Amino acid sequence: MKKNLFILILLSPFLLFSQNNTGEIHGNFESNLQSYRDDPTIGATAAEEVILHNAYLNILYTKGNFTGGLRFESYLNALMDYDPKYKGNGIPYRFATYYSDGLEVTVGNYYEQFGSGIIFRTYEDKGLGVDNAMDGVRLKYSPISGLYLKSFIGQSRTYFEYSEGIVRGVDAEFNVNEALKIEGKTSYILGGSFVSRFQKDNNPKFNLPENVGSMATRLNIMHGGFSYYGEYAHKINDPIGSFSFDENNYATGRAIVNNLTYSQKGLGVTFESHFVDHMEFRSERAKEKEFIINYIPTLSKQHTYTLLALYPCATQPEGEFGFNTNIFYKIPKNTLLGGKYGTNLNLNFARTNSIEGGTSYLDDSSSHTSRPLKSIFIKNETLYFSDFNLEINKKINKKVKLNLVVAKQKYNKDILEGKTIGEYGIVSSTIAIADISYKIKKGHTIRLELQEMISIDDATAENHADGDWHMILAEYTISPNWFFAIQDMYNYGNYNEEKQLHYVNTSVGFLKGANRFAIGYGKKRAGIFCVGGVCKEVPSSNGFSLNISSSF
């Protein structure tokens, strides 16, 4: 009843103002339907329901300084790559916000991030099935120009539940140049944040902290084409509350982030690095990864080509050191290598590995503190992931565009997928991609992707990974209404001959105005899907899919 009343109050502005045509309503809808049938060759299983369906509808109402909104979600039942705890219908997201004289008040659900998210970030990603929206109250206030304050209190969402832990936080950002009206080449932004989680301790065996705090300071300096961002985070003891002797880790968590970028016309260089140690922060102490409320971005290039993203890097918040370097260079036009339109190059090198001595640990009988400076000189640390790649993007003429990528990747399958150490070891692969698009005539474009992966298994490992792959994709677009695509992934190099299979997918899409329809049919392989270092396992499937999205 309480819930219904709340929704009614939220909706009341729609009812009140719908007459005199003030305010605006916007929304969007998405429906994903998939059928599943048995396919023992790829390990796909049929759904008892035959079809599964996820749908969302967002409604947003804005009038002047007021915004209210809600999201209806329907999982009848959830698609197989979703957690089955997403079940049934509901309005798990609803909020009201208003802004007045520098103060912004939000009640209900909200997403928030402090700094780069190391101590706190709530967000939603439908692809990953992540939605840890907060439910509570948030205030944002700017008392003077250049000083921005945020504070919140709430409980975080996981599936259709809210955490038992209550999370509170404050954040202050101080833009030096703006506040002190300094004009100059160099600008500074300072920030500090603090987040604390309360959860009762009813463990009679171990002494557990009821209020777990996490704090961070950050600095951003910009000078001409240079930009530096640094953040240091610290989390106090946060044991999981187990009864087993060696499972409660009382060590402090730490993270150090250093990012440097430089850009000028035709050239860009970025260098990102971080050291992370025991920084997993959950909304309840004993819960699992789905309850994480902070975010550590991955240090690797986000690939879109299938075979480049076959073995993606997943961030290890409990301990990793790594860096990611990018050099972007445009060979100017009308030169030998640049041709008529110029040539874009992107060289990328990323690597992450374990930290010195492993994750910091503290209990009554033992202690270890990992040293960040030692981690820089990689000695005995385990490699988690490395990716060295070059991308060349070139427009040949008015009709033909070309994108070429070559990459060498190393992927520690045991660590990144949570397998037993020694099961798969480190998979090394070499990947080459050619993406050619050809404009046949006005509005008609054909695009061809050829991908190849040569993969070498770890000789010391117990099991074999999937081995070599071919992939081919052909896409035909008739803008603005139609697209047709067919792709085949062929695992020709699988060690197990029975698994040397083709995974063929076809899709047809129709777009008109604000509506988009797509129908697909095919086989999907079991794999890992990641967005920004957050990953989920996707089961294999065989069936039809229908996706509809629309907005108003």
Partner 1 sequence: MKKIKYIIATLFGILLFNITSCDIIEGPYLIDNNTNPVDTNTFVKKVLIEDFTGHRCPNCPAAAEELVSLQDFYGDRVIGIAIHPSSPAFSTPSPLTASSYTYDFRTQFGDDIDNIFELTTVGLPRGMVNRTGFDTQHQLGKDEWSSIVQTELEKDPIFGITLSSNVSNGNGTISITAEALTNINLDKKEKIEDYNIVICLTEKNIVQWQKDNTAGDIEDYEHNHVLRTMINTTFGESIGNSFVDGDIWEKDYSVDITTLENTNENHSLNTLFMGNGNCKEWNEDNMEIVVYIYNTSNYEIVQVEEKHLTNH
Which positions touch partner 1 (CB under 8 A)? 83-85, 143-144, 146-147, 149, 160-161, 168, 170, 172, 174, 179-180, 192, 194, 196, 198, 202-213, 215, 236-237, 239-245, 247-248, 250, 285-288, 363-364, 419-422
Q: Which is nearer to partner 1, 121 or 235 (CB)?
A: 235
Least distance CB 363 / partner 1 (angstroms): 6
Q: Are 215 and 193 in contact (CB under 8 A)?
A: yes
Angle, vertex CA 289, rays to CA 288 and CA 290, nearest 5: 95
Least distance CB 383 / partner 1 (angstroms): 19
Strands 103-110 and 124-125: unpaired
Across the chain, which distance is largest between two alpha carbons, in Å?
75
Q: Which is nearer to partner 1, 226 or 245 (CB)?
A: 245
Q: Are 56 and 73 in contact (CB under 8 A)?
A: yes
Q: How far apart are CA 494 and CA 491, in angstroms?
A: 6
Q: Which is nearer to partner 1, 48 or 497 (CB)?
A: 48
Least distance CB 170 / partner 1 (angstroms): 6
Least distance CB 462 / partner 1 (angstroms): 8
Distance between alpha carbon 421 and the CA centroid of its chain, in Å? 26
Q: Which is nearer to partner 1, 202 or 380 (CB)?
A: 202
Distance between alpha carbon 463 and the CA centroid of its chain, in Å? 29
3-state SS, residue 499:
helix
Least distance CB 151 / partner 1 (angstroms): 9
Least distance CB 42 / partner 1 (angstroms): 14
Q: Are 345 and 329 in contact (CB under 8 A)?
A: yes
Q: Which is nearer to partner 1, 373 or 459 (CB)?
A: 459
Least distance CB 174 / partner 1 (angstroms): 6
65-88 per-residue burial string, b: 16 or more CB within 10 A, e: under 16: eebbbbbbbebebbbbbbeeebee
For tokens 């899907």, the residue is 529
Least distance CB 309 / partner 1 (angstroms): 24
Q: Which is nearer to partner 1, 248 or 306 (CB)?
A: 248
Burial class (CB in 10 A: 0-12, 13-18, 19+), 183: exposed
Q: Which is nearer to partner 1, 364 or 498 (CB)?
A: 364
Least distance CB 194 / partner 1 (angstroms): 5
Least distance CB 405 / partner 1 (angstroms): 34
DSSP states of 315-347: --TTEEEEEEEEEEEEEPTTBTTTBTT-EEEEE
Q: Which is nearer to partner 1, 179 or 376 (CB)?
A: 179
Q: Which is nearer to partner 1, 286 or 383 (CB)?
A: 286
3-state SS, residue 376:
helix
Q: How far apart are CA 237 and CA 251, in angstroms?
A: 5
Least distance CB 398 / partner 1 (angstroms): 53
Q: Cα-flanking dihedrals φ and ψ of residue 56, to 5°? A: -140, 145
Q: Are 391 and 402 in contact (CB under 8 A)?
A: no
Q: Are 458 and 425 in contact (CB under 8 A)?
A: yes
- Which DSSP letter does residue 305 get? S
CA-to-CA dists, residue 202 to 2, 205, 213, 241, 438, angstroms: 30, 9, 19, 9, 66
3-state SS, residue 371:
coil
Q: Which is nearer to partner 1, 287 or 499 (CB)?
A: 287
Segment (H or E) for 14 = helix 2-17
Q: Which is nearer to partner 1, 250 or 503 (CB)?
A: 250
Strands 426-441 and 319-331: unpaired
